[in-house]
């Protein structure tokens, strides 16, 4: 293998740049030419492909976002779009691909490999931590710490005014961010997609709030079965029906995607990026390079996409016990 390419796709995540850097410098160390594809699959289709040097990735390990940009591509979902992407890769004589992204990125990579056979290895870049085959995904730790910093500040004002805050964090299908923020931030309740939310229990506790606590923090994953934070707050407020209790909502939104990656994310991204290049050279393909129990593992895309990553039961128990 003489030439490989790297791209980022889907939602951006802190640490993607560290992963790009690791891919580029590992490839150069192995005496392989490496190309960067801008704007994900869309850039692949349109030929936004440029050769990268070691200096191309200087001073980026600490930066959030992605220097290769990211985009979602409707055209790549079509056979015609994928054929155009293949033709662009062959034009540049690219023999292997490193795809940094999440579930959608890996789904596209799996189909592309099955149709055209270009060896592809993925790196798990998503803040949601919902990809099977790795203990943590690139960007998750940073997103949790960003959200937790905001929750700590909100708790100050909640306590000062005896308010009940519903704080919405990202997680349309996954409660990992909400759960870790809830534990780290001392939340009284955490509402996540993986479990059924018991609003009756929440209402009962809040009605008795002034007997034990003057304020409360409730962390809501955006994909909770009862709705987003605004909708849940209104349901709870109506049932509590106490004019003395003040309810507030804060949606943290896209601040969770940005910012300098933590050391943990930089190291994880670097390990996955290096493993992806080494995996291509050792004959691995159509799989993701992740880290499980401290060791690099290669998991087939079919498993990454098809299997559900379970939440840790002891984390759920911690919320129940520590919120008393």
**What CATH code is carried by the domain that includes residue 86?**
3.40.50.450
Tokens 């710490």: give the residue. Answer: 145
Whether residues 124 and 12 fall in one domain: yes
Query: Looking at 12, 42, 128, 265, which residue is catalytic?
Result: 128
Q: Would you say the pTM of this structure is higher than 0.75?
A: yes
Whether residues 289 and 249 fall in one domain: no
Alpha carbon dihedral 211, 216, 171, 125, in 10-degree steps, equals: -120
Count Cα atoms within 13 angstroms, Cβ side, for 308.
Answer: 9
Burial per residue of 237-249, b for 16 or more beta-carbon CB atoms within 10 angstroms, e otherwise: beebeeeebebeb
Residue 23 assigned as binding residue? yes
Whether residues 151 and 251 fall in one domain: yes
The helix (run of H) or strand (run of E) holding residue 103 is: helix 103-116
Residue 72 assigned as binding residue? yes
pLDDT at 212: 60
Q: How far from chain centre, in Å, is Cα 37?
A: 21
Residue 317 lies in a domain: no
Report the CATH number at residue 203: 3.40.50.460
Q: Are 64 and 269 in contact (CB under 8 A)?
A: no
**Alpha carbons 177 and 284: distance in angstroms, whole number:** 31
pLDDT at 320: 81
The CA-based diameter of the chain, rounded to the nearest angstrom, is 71
Whether residues 270 and 134 fall in one domain: yes
Q: Is 310 exposed, middle or buried (0-12, 13-18, 19+ CB in 10 A)?
A: exposed
Whether residues 100 and 40 fall in one domain: yes
State yes or no: is 128 an active-site residue. yes
pLDDT at 244: 83
Whether residues 134 and 275 fall in one domain: yes
Q: Are 289 and 276 in contact (CB under 8 A)?
A: yes
Rg, Å, the chain Cα set: 22
pLDDT at 313: 85
Whether residues 84 and 184 fall in one domain: no
Q: Are 42 and 71 in contact (CB under 8 A)?
A: yes
Per-residue pLDDT of the chain (324 residues; tens, 9 = 90+): 999 999 999 999 999 999 999 999 999 999 999 999 999 999 999 999 999 999 999 999 999 999 999 988 999 999 999 999 999 999 999 999 999 999 999 999 999 999 999 999 999 999 999 999 999 999 999 999 999 999 999 999 999 998 999 999 999 999 999 999 999 999 999 999 999 999 999 998 888 765 666 789 999 999 999 999 999 999 999 999 988 889 999 999 999 999 999 999 999 999 999 999 999 999 999 999 999 999 999 999 999 998 989 888 888 888 888 866
Residue 170 assigned as binding residue? yes
Which structure tokens are listed for 203? 């209402």
58 Cβ neighbours under 8 A, 6+ residues apart: none
For residue 300, what are the domain limits? 3-139+261-306
Quote the number of domains for the chain: 2
Whether residues 19 and 132 fall in one domain: yes
Whether residues 296 and 161 fall in one domain: no
pLDDT at 316: 85
Residue 172 assigned as binding residue? yes
Residue 240 assigned as binding residue? no
**Could you say which DSSP state residue 55 is in?**
G
Whether residues 30 and 162 fall in one domain: no
Whether residues 163 and 249 fall in one domain: yes
Residue 128 assigned as binding residue? yes
pLDDT at 208: 78
């Amino acid at each position: 293998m003489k030439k490989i390419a790297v791209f980022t796709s889907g939602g951006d995540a802190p640490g993607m740049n560290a992963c790009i850097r690791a891919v580029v410098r590992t490839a150069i160390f192995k005496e392989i030419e490496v190309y960067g594809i801008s704007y994900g699959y869309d850039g692949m289709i349109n030929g936004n492909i440029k050769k990268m040097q070691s200096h191309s990735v200087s001073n980026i390990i600490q930066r959030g976002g992605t220097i290769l940009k990211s985009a979602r591509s409707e055209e790549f979902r079509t056979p015609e779009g994928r054929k155009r992407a293949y033709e662009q890769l062959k034009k540049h004589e690219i023999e292997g691909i490193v795809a940094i992204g999440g579930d959608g990125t890996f789904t596209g990579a799996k189909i592309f490999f099955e149709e055209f056979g270009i060896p592809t290895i993925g790196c798990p870049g998503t803040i949601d931590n919902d990809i099977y085959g790795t203990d943590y995904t690139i960007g998750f730790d940073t997103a949790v710490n960003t959200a937790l910093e905001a929750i700590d500040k909100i708790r100050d004002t909640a306590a000062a005014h005896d308010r009940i805050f519903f704080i919405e964090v990202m997680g349309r299908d996954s409660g990992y961010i909400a759960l870790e923020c809830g534990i780290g931030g001392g939340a009284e309740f955490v509402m996540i997609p993986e479990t059924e939310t018991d609003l009756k229990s929440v209402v009962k506790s809040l009605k008795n709030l002034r007997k034990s606590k003057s304020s409360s923090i409730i962390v809501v994953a955006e994909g909770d079965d009862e709705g987003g934070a605004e909708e849940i707050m209104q349901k709870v407020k109506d049932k509590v029906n106490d004019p003395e209790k003040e309810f507030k909502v804060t949606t943290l939104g896209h601040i969770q995607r940005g910012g300098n990656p933590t050391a943990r994310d930089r190291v994880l991204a670097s390990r996955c990026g290096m493993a992806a290049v080494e995996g291509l050279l050792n004959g691995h393909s159509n799989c993701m390079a992740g880290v499980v129990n401290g060791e690099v593992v290669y998991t087939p895309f079919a498993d990454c996409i098809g299997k559900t990553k379970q939440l840790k039961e002891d984390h759920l128990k911690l919320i129940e016990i520590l919120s008393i």
